[in-house]
Amino acid sequence: MSPAGTWKLSAAGAVASYGTYQVRVTYGNKFKNGLELLLSGSAYNSHGQDRLFFPEFDGPATYHGIATNADRDGSHQLFANLSWGGFKLQGLFGSRDKGIPTAPFGSAFNVTDTRTVDARSYLDLDYERKLGRGWSLTSRTSFDEYNNDGAYIYDYSATDGPSRVFNRNFAHGKWWGENATFSKQISESQRFSAGAEFRDNFQQDQGNYDELPFVQYFSDSRTSTVFSFYAQDEIHLRKNLILNLGLRYDRYSTFGGTTNPRAALIYNPWEKTTFKFLYGQSFREPNLFELYYVAPGNEANPSLRPETVRTMELVWEQYFANYFRVTASGFYYPIHGLINQQANATNGNAVFVNAGSLNLRGLEVALSRSLPRGLEGTASYSFQEATNASTRMAVTNAPKHLVQAGLSVPLVAQKVFASMDLQYVSKRVTLAGPYSGAYVVPNFTLFARDVSKRWEISASLYNAFNQKYADPTGNGLVENVIVQDGRGFRVKVGYKFQ
């Protein structure tokens, strides 16, 4: 933020492949009375690819698998942050409208009106205050809203119905919450904190219907609440040994209560060496779609239980000289009660069930170097193995090997830089059984900063070698994999008015 009594205004714009543009305007001010204000607005629009080929639809009745002008994407966002003293008020509104060319859930192929619109807004009021006897209070009061609206075009002519019918699928939610945390430095070697959280989901609506002729397939309105209590204690057993203990209890009106501990032991045997042992338990509650959604081909399961997971991780961090850092970690995450969509053996309907267990184990190694003159480099390798604990079979869309690397080199007086990042993803099992192929995708960027006090310019080339690769799909699609974009570019220009 700028010094007291001054303001800053900046704007940035970008153009990219596939008819894409993006603009952003930001205003910040710190007033002499201590009030700080930040406002930002952005807009994004992309025409997308003119023609996309899907071999699963390659036939005369489905335009030989070619979807035309069905890949558009657009979004806009407004953000505001206001702080004064111990108060901070933050608000956001954002919306995204995405065209869907893949004909999901049996909808018509090669139509331009199948799309989803996601809108999210929130307003948070944070407060911090020092209390007596070394205690401090942090509080957050919040209001949130999320709306998902999908439009799907269906062709019912095969059953003597209309050839174009708009099907609407929606999920609308509103909730407010309060979170308060009390903390105290009990001694030089111990800090304790405890708090409580309440969330009231006072609107949880979902439904599905055809517009014309009107047919209501599903309509559901509910409310729910969540109460949570938590505590954490950080104890310095020695100058170089820290024990962190935590416990959290959550009570959901939908399925009951759950208690989850966590612990961390952090040891610094030498100045530039750190070892960490981390343990935790957590869960994912079933959402309302998984619990109650009923529509043609789908059925509800109100008895669904949460997924549970234990996390165990051992981490080693080592600094060499002044510029090198190595991090290595091994992890093991057993997941139980996995929520998965399956076909009901009696009627063939899709239903969510707690289906077995999943074991996730692996190793990650990362090396980074940062020099004072602007030369930076990072490289990381991750090996992970995700298997079904019952069948011992590999999990879909879970690569065993991931490699990421990045390099940034100053070209002109630490004002003009060239950078490269590279990602390697190994083959992955798909829902239909075959593997999606491994791929390597490099991106290059040339950018200038601080060339003048006000201008910033960058140019990027993505998927520089035009690598053809695909990602596995999920349920509801005919396609087994979706081919991703080839080579693309982006040019971005930013200007600071003051």
pLDDT digits (tens, 9 = 90+) for 403-437: 999 999 999 877 899 999 999 999 999 998 889 99
What's the pLDDT band for 6 if we cut at 50, 70, 90? low
- Domain region containing 485: 6-496
Q: Decide if 466 is inside a domain.
A: yes
Q: Which amino acid is at 447?
A: F
Cα dist. 289→152, 322, 348 in Å?
18, 51, 18
- pLDDT bracket for residue 247 (50, 70, 90): very high
Can you tell me the mean pLDDT for 374-383? 93
Question: What average pLDDT does the chain have?
Answer: 94
CATH number for 132: 2.40.170.20
The tens digit of pLDDT for each residue in 18-53 reads: 999 999 999 999 998 889 999 999 999 999 999 999
Q: What is the mean pLDDT of residues 305-329?
A: 94
> Domain tally for the chain?
1
pLDDT for the residue numbered 1: 45
Using pLDDT thresholds of 50, 70 and 90, give the confidence band for residue 7: low
What percentage of the chain has pLDDT greater than the value 90?
A: 85
**What is the predicted pLDDT for the residue at 457?**
94
Residue 4 has pLDDT above 60, yes or no: no
pLDDT in tens, 252-267: 999 999 999 999 999 9
Backbone torsions φ then ψ of 295, nearest 5 degrees: -160, 170
What is the predicted pLDDT for the residue at 394? 82
pLDDT tens by residue, 155-172? 999 999 999 999 999 999
pLDDT of residue 434: 86
Q: How far apart are CA 61 and CA 65, in angstroms?
A: 9
Chain centre distance of CA 329: 23
pLDDT of residue 355: 86
Q: Is 292 within a domain?
A: yes
Residue 129 lies inside a defined structural domain of this protein: yes
Mean pLDDT value across residues 269-276: 95
- At 5, the pLDDT band (50, 70, 90 cuts) reads very low
Residue 2: pLDDT over 60: no
Instruction: Tell me the per-residue pLDDT of 428-473, one tens digit each, with 9 for 90 and over.
Output: 999 988 899 999 999 999 999 777 778 899 999 999 999 999 999 9
How many C-beta atoms surround the C-beta of residue 300 within 10 A?
19
pLDDT tens digits for 281-305? 999 999 999 999 998 889 999 999 9
pLDDT at residue 110 greater than cutoff 80: yes
CA-to-CA separations, 451 to 49, 424, 448, 491, in angstroms, rounded: 35, 34, 6, 17
391-414 mean pLDDT: 90
Asked if residue 1 belongs to a domain, the reply is no
81: nearest Cα among 140, 125, 139: 125
Which positions ≥6 away from 310 have C-beta within 8 Å? 279, 280, 281, 333, 334
| Residue 36 domain-assigned (yes or no) | yes
